[in-house]
Structure 1
Amino acid sequence: MAHNEVRWLLVVLTLAYVVAAAQSAGDGSDRDAEVLIKFKSSLSSKDPAALNNWNKSIDLCAEKGSNWAGLICNKGVFSGLRLENMSLTGIIDVDSLAELPTLRSLSFMNNSFDGPMPKASKLGALKNLYLSLNRFSGEIPDDAFEGMRSLRRVHLARNAFRGTIPKSLAALPRLEELSLEGNRFEGNIPDFRPDHEWRVFNLADNQLKGHIPKGLSKMNSSSFVGNKNLCGQPLGTCKAPKNHYIVIIIVLAIAVVALATLGAFPFIRSRRTQTSQYEKAQAHKNFGAYDVGRKVAESAELPADQNKNGELGKLFFVRNDRDRERFDLQDLLEAPAEVLGSGSFGCAYKAVLLSGTAMVVKRFRQMNKMGKEEFHAHMTRLGSLSHPNVLPPVAFLYSKEEKLLISDFVENGSLASHLHERRAPGQPGLDWLTRLRIIKGVARGLAYLHKEFPAPISLPHGHLKSSNVLLDCTFRPLLSEFALVPVISKEHAQHYMAAYKSPEFTQLDREDRKTDVWCLGILILEVLTGKFPANYQKHGKGENKDLAMWVNSVVREEWTGEVFDVNMKGTKNCEEEMLKLLKIGMCCCEWNVVRRWELREALEKIEKLKERDNEDDCNSSYGSEGDMYSSRAMTEEDFSFLS
């Protein structure tokens, strides 16, 4: 065959292959669409428009993302489902999903699915499985994860699973994230591979017992808290014998009775914690509100409230959780107490009840003249709130001399402490993915408060800042000290609360519902830069030289990405998403209230930020030292929105 003929034959065959591949890809996309529409029929939602654009007339994927809501696409190819926060119920039809050959990631987090766990082992090529914050229940079979050798991330937190942790889960060779906290798993912890390197590992708040395996002894203790019968490192030795514990209780009870008889029962003092003068100064300088998790060098002084007959006051419970432990003020007074900090409204204490439950007691000294009935009604309203990112109060005490607000203790401290406290050498700061998820949770919680407290209420939160964002053991953010403007004296509120540091108040002496958006913007910039907002250290009115002005000046003058926190790991290939969040923060901090974004718009933009689309783009890897700007440098064009 002549040379030219051979060449032409190769060209024809190549073209034929390309056409056939394109047709095959098109056929695959059509087939995926049919399967997904069949899968959709097994779901239901309170929001009828949730999956409205799942339509065969619309292509599944675009070159840079998905066209269908909740789909993950990688370079135009469908690779996963992210159907989160959609109030979905029904059955997760795994058999239909098994017909999707490119499916690698599934997330149904924060919905209302119930019943047993779906048979995920039918999806052998799956890499990520996220089922947290649903109502799944029952035992998970021991072989539930057999054959899933590609599985890297399993998140089943905050459901009602029981029974033992499946051994097939411990045997997964590539597993790097495991989140099982907040269930009812029992029995011993299985032997996970001792040389395993974990990015996330959490078994907290279950009913596990026995010794923690040696391979897990170097994990953080927060991975195991809330399992009363677990012992061994990192939790330390097992509990002291019961008879020894009873003797301690009897001695304490005798002491309490003696003090009460002598009329010296205004306070129960705990032992002093030793903290350096530097730490005390930093606590008051940086963290205007209490910071759960810090130990300030003061003795804990829980007040007693007595009526004319010398009897203790009554706590009013405002949350009606089915399994909520009930206690009275006497129980709090008898509990070992520890000062957590002195905040904007007064001192906060951690009190550990006899059952082992830890509560936070906050004293409010600067209250307005709201009557008892109004105060009761407002606190009851706060206690009725229910959202994954909002921490409502549990109970309160109202008297002429004392106002106490009692809430759950949140074990991982505040966002402020993780951003600004000194870390031990080699201890990493919060990584990018964790910071992004925290901001998303904060925005969702704030949007919920704005929905629950509509106009004409101007400040549904009023005191949003990093020390009032608490983090649970999974680093899920919980908003605290919200909606307190109506009960705090006006002078004190304007002197200390975050909303009153805004430009509209410091310059124009007024607040707006968008003032909460300004606080959100400052928080976003604080999370991205790692810098504490200097204007929060000033009391009352004054120069409004805030964090937003600093960020603005840096990006205008230097045009670099050096505005970002150098301690933020896991930023490789994520510059674009980081820059988008920076822009969102700046638009939320717009000085002119009219031009400032509405909260709805800010939330929409934040929700669109990518967490994980594929292995290479903005994933959860921590990266190496100095990986932040490895992809490209920031340019003037990136910051053109400031013009």
Structure 2
Amino acid sequence: MAHFVGILVVLFAALSYTAAEPTADRAALLDFISKTLHPTKLRWDNTTSTCDWTGVTCDANRSSVVALRLPAAGLIGSVPNGTLARLASLRVLSLHSNRLSGPLPSDLSSLSSLRHLYLQDNRFSGDFPPWIPALTRLTRLDLSKNAFDGEIPLGVNNLTRLTGLFLQQNNFSGELPSINIQKLGSFNVSKNQLSGSIPESLSMFPVSSFAGNLDLCGSPLPPCSSPVLPSPTPAPSSTSRKSSGKLSTTAVIGISVAAGLVGLLLLLAVFWWCLMRRKRGKRVDRRKPSTASLAAGGGVTEGTVSSWSSSKDTGSGLGEAAKNRLVFVEGAGYSFDLEDLLRASAEVLGKGSMGTSYKAVLEEGTTVVVKRLKDVAASRKEFETHADILGRVAEHHNVLPVRAYYYSKDEKLVVYDYLPAGSLSALLHGSKAPGRTPMDWGGRLKVAVAGARGLSHIHNSAKIPHGNLKASNILLRDDPSSAAISDFGLYPFFASSGSPPSRLVGYRAPELIQTGRPTFKSDVFSFGVLLLELLTGRSPNHTSFVVEEGVDLPRWVQSIVREEWTAEVFDAELVRGYPGVEEDMVQLLQVAMSCVSTMPDSRPDMSEVVTMIEEILSQSEFVDGLRRHSSDETSMGSPSPAREASLWVEE
């Protein structure tokens, strides 16, 4: 009897499994893959459930396919008609970084549930797909790095839920339509053939969103120049001669009045200059006793910034300071001078291998960060030339450029904007007292995206490696997605004074230890370590996780994942506080491990890292700190973290 019951249980389970199998979606996927060239490594086994196939995600009931993710899968050729369009419940379609080509099939317009469409870095061509504006549930659309042409349609405004639109590196032409989507937070049409004025509705996006379009103008790009059209010359007549005489008299009167006003303004300007000069002279006289006390030196960490002037500056230091000046980078927006800076009240923010950072509050209330560099080996010319380069990096809200610099025999200073929210390191590894609020997962994901965007901008705009990327150089704002990277590109100041890797403890790429020269790829490694720091909550410089000598954070994570997937890898506070967050964490861990590959050529570029993390963020249910629920959506199932982890851990 028991044996008979067991057989019934097995049969019932088999029938249930069969009932749950998405038969129609299975046929559509097999039809797609049979008509698309692909490498043999992509195996969709007929003997296993569709929901267990590589890149396929089903809903919770395993009755329909809701996501198809085949990035960099080696797919070649066009997307066949009548295949993917049959996946009626599809919400995520990611086919980026393949070699797919030709126009997109119009029947994809039937994917009414589609939220995320990632087709970047392929060879698609033709006009902007006219059916895309009909996919009104889209929240993320990436068609970048293809060969699309024609105009960008005004119908894009139908995508009212769109948070990210990426059309860069195509051949789009014509004028930009007035895209006014309230939720749109990321936008890029750079490196196309667009022309005309940038609509006001898009002017809030950075220069990098529009760069590379030679005929595009208007904020945030340089203003459009208005063409001056020649006035027609009327035929001479008695009437015109009379009118001409009257106009000439009016013009003479106008010119006379204007000249009088200009003269008056000049007199007022001279008077104001003399007055300010007298006031400034009195202010300097009043400051002389304080300047003398500054020369006496001191070692305070709070109060006046007398610690900038060491005892050896007592004689020649201040004399040289009088001969040197604080140099502001163009567009810095500050008006104080060196004397104002030396008199500022200050406190130490942190001491590092490159120097000490101070928060300086000037008398008029301006607050800046002053970094006092130590062991600088660069000459004055080298220092000033490179500091000017660091200050002229194109504006980007995720980058904190140098605003001013100062060079003398005994002092080398760089000045930055002050961000009061502090650093990522302080937030992650600060007070562990009971009752504190740890950084939530949504915040960590946003900081990861911000850091990736900032580092990618430094690589592409300044064309120099960061060279010292770590959590203490990620400075926060109220919105985590506006976090900014600081202290980039300082390593040339110390090129002859010691090995740069000694300044990168915990974040060093293997090749950096050997060569001592930072590169873009060594920056990617450092960023991968930073991602591991966000995931594990552990500092790379902390030894509590070291099992044996020579084991660093990346090796420790690899060893845990290879042996068996355990909760030891992820920050326990996150796992406890946000049930279900492990799926997001696995995806970000996959990105981190590709960044910390021991072979530099195996690491992705930062632009690719940005795309991968943006995709994770756009799909996350935890971006607002609490898990999001939607009554019109069924939660998506996913492969187990253990199964996914075994696919990508570096051997």
Report the TM-score when normalising by structure 1: 0.56
- The residue type paired with residue 388 of structure 2 is T
Does 1:59 find its partner at 2:59? no
Residue 541 of structure 2 corresponds to which residue in structure 1? 534
Residue 547 of structure 1 corresponds to which residue in structure 2? 553
Partner of 2:350, secondary structure, is strand
When residues 390 and 63 of structure 1 are mapped into structure 2, their CA distance, relative to the original with a 3 A threshold, is closer
Does 1:497 find its partner at 2:501? no
Q: How does 1:538-617 map to 2 (within 5 A)?
A: 544-568=550-574, 571-594=578-601, 596-600=602-606, 602-603=608-609, 606-613=612-619, 617=621
**Is contact 1:571–1:622 with CA below 8 Å preserved after alignment?**
yes
**Is contact 1:358–1:409 with CA below 8 Å preserved after alignment?**
yes
Does 1:463 find its partner at 2:468? yes
- The residue type paired with residue 450 of structure 2 is G
* Aligned equivalents of 2:392, 2:517: Cα separation in 1: 29
What is the aligned counterpart of 2:460 among 451, 455, 462?
451
Offset at 1:57?
Answer: 3.1
Residue 315 of structure 1 corresponds to which residue in structure 2? 326
Residue 393 of structure 2 corresponds to which residue in structure 1? 385
What is the aligned counterpart of 1:355 among 333, 350, 364?
364
Residue 622 of structure 1 corresponds to which residue in structure 2? 626
**Is contact 2:466–2:489 with CA below 8 Å preserved after alignment?**
yes
**Is contact 2:326–2:338 with CA below 8 Å preserved after alignment?**
yes
Q: How does 1:71-220 map to 2 (within 5 A)?
A: 78-82=136-140, 96=155, 103-107=160-164, 128=183, 130=185
When residues 597 and 108 of structure 1 are mapped into structure 2, their CA distance, relative to the original with a 3 A threshold, is closer
* Aligned equivalents of 1:310, 1:463: Cα separation in 2: 29
Residue 415 of structure 2 corresponds to which residue in structure 1? 406
* Aligned equivalents of 1:536, 1:607: Cα separation in 2: 28
Residue 474 of structure 1 corresponds to which residue in structure 2? 479
What is the aligned counterpart of 2:336 among 316, 327, 333?
327
Does 1:417 find its partner at 2:426? yes
Partner of 1:560, secondary structure, is coil
Offset at 1:621?
Answer: 4.1
The alignment of Structure 1 onto Structure 2 pairs a total of residues equal to 437
* Aligned equivalents of 2:440, 2:597: Cα separation in 1: 27
Aligned Cα root-mean-square deviation (Å): 5.1
Residue 267 of structure 2 corresponds to which residue in structure 1? none
Does 1:345 find its partner at 2:354? yes
Partner of 1:567, secondary structure, is helix
Offset at 1:433?
Answer: 2.1
Offset at 1:92?
Answer: 11
1:489-533 CA distances to partner (integer Å, 9 max, x unpaired)? 441523223598332244677765421121111111011111000
**Is contact 2:119–2:143 with CA below 8 Å preserved after alignment?**
no
- The residue type paired with residue 564 of structure 1 is F
1:124-165 CA distances to partner (integer Å, 9 max, x unpaired)? xx8x46489999999x9xxxxxxxxxxxxxx99889xxxxxx
Does 1:395 find its partner at 2:404? yes
Partner of 1:638, secondary structure, is helix
Moved more, 407-416 or 470-479: 470-479
Give 1 or 2: higher helix fraction: 2
- Which runs of 5 or more residues in structure 2 are unaligned? 1-80, 86-100, 121-127, 146-150, 169-174, 190-196, 207-281, 629-636
Offset at 1:350?
Answer: 0.8
When residues 397 and 427 of structure 1 are mapped into structure 2, their CA distance, relative to the original with a 3 A threshold, is same
* Aligned equivalents of 1:559, 1:310: Cα separation in 2: 59
When residues 414 and 109 of structure 1 are mapped into structure 2, their CA distance, relative to the original with a 3 A threshold, is farther
Offset at 1:450?
Answer: 2.4
Residue 517 of structure 1 corresponds to which residue in structure 2? 524
Partner of 2:616, secondary structure, is coil
What is the aligned counterpart of 2:288 among 233, 257, 265?
257
When residues 474 and 497 of structure 1 are mapped into structure 2, their CA distance, relative to the original with a 3 A threshold, is same
Residue 442 of structure 1 corresponds to which residue in structure 2? 451
When residues 130 and 156 of structure 1 are mapped into structure 2, their CA distance, relative to the original with a 3 A threshold, is farther
- Which runs of 5 or more residues in structure 1 are unaligned? 1-25, 31-51, 121-125, 141-154, 160-250, 274-297, 625-629
1:262-320 CA distances to partner (integer Å, 9 max, x unpaired)? 565355887849xxxxxxxxxxxxxxxxxxxxxxxx98623378464772630111232
* Aligned equivalents of 1:115, 1:352: Cα separation in 2: 44
**Is contact 1:359–1:408 with CA below 8 Å preserved after alignment?**
yes
**Is contact 2:117–2:140 with CA below 8 Å preserved after alignment?**
no
Offset at 1:415?
Answer: 0.9
1:165-218 CA distances to partner (integer Å, 9 max, x unpaired)? xxxxxxxxxxxxxxxxxxxxxxxxxxxxxxxxxxxxxxxxxxxxxxxxxxxxxx
**Is contact 1:318–1:395 with CA below 8 Å preserved after alignment?**
yes
Partner of 1:620, secondary structure, is coil
1:570-611 CA distances to partner (integer Å, 9 max, x unpaired)? 7554433321210121121122334x3132575265245332
* Aligned equivalents of 1:269, 1:317: Cα separation in 2: 27
Partner of 1:635, secondary structure, is helix
**Is contact 1:359–1:407 with CA below 8 Å preserved after alignment?**
yes
1:304-362 CA distances to partner (integer Å, 9 max, x unpaired)? 784647726301112324xx022111111121111112111121111112332211111
Does 1:486 find its partner at 2:492? yes
Partner of 1:360, secondary structure, is strand
1:454-490 CA distances to partner (integer Å, 9 max, x unpaired)? 5xx7xx1111111111112322221111112211144
**Is contact 1:575–1:631 with CA below 8 Å preserved after alignment?**
no
Offset at 1:67?
Answer: 5.8
When residues 402 and 510 of structure 1 are mapped into structure 2, their CA distance, relative to the original with a 3 A threshold, is closer
When residues 546 and 490 of structure 1 are mapped into structure 2, their CA distance, relative to the original with a 3 A threshold, is farther
- The residue type paired with residue 382 of structure 1 is L
* Aligned equivalents of 2:521, 2:622: Cα separation in 1: 31
* Aligned equivalents of 2:568, 2:506: Cα separation in 1: 28
* Aligned equivalents of 1:85, 1:485: Cα separation in 2: 37
**Is contact 1:610–1:618 with CA below 8 Å preserved after alignment?**
no
* Aligned equivalents of 1:340, 1:425: Cα separation in 2: 25
**Is contact 1:530–1:564 with CA below 8 Å preserved after alignment?**
yes
* Percent of residue pairs identical: 30
Offset at 1:552?
Answer: 1.0
**Is contact 2:584–2:616 with CA below 8 Å preserved after alignment?**
yes
When residues 571 and 549 of structure 1 are mapped into structure 2, their CA distance, relative to the original with a 3 A threshold, is same
- The residue type paired with residue 117 of structure 2 is S
**Is contact 2:456–2:606 with CA below 8 Å preserved after alignment?**
yes
* Aligned equivalents of 1:565, 1:474: Cα separation in 2: 22
* Aligned equivalents of 2:179, 2:608: Cα separation in 1: 35
1:14-51 CA distances to partner (integer Å, 9 max, x unpaired)? xxxxxxxxxxxx9xx99xxxxxxxxxxxxxxxxxxxxx
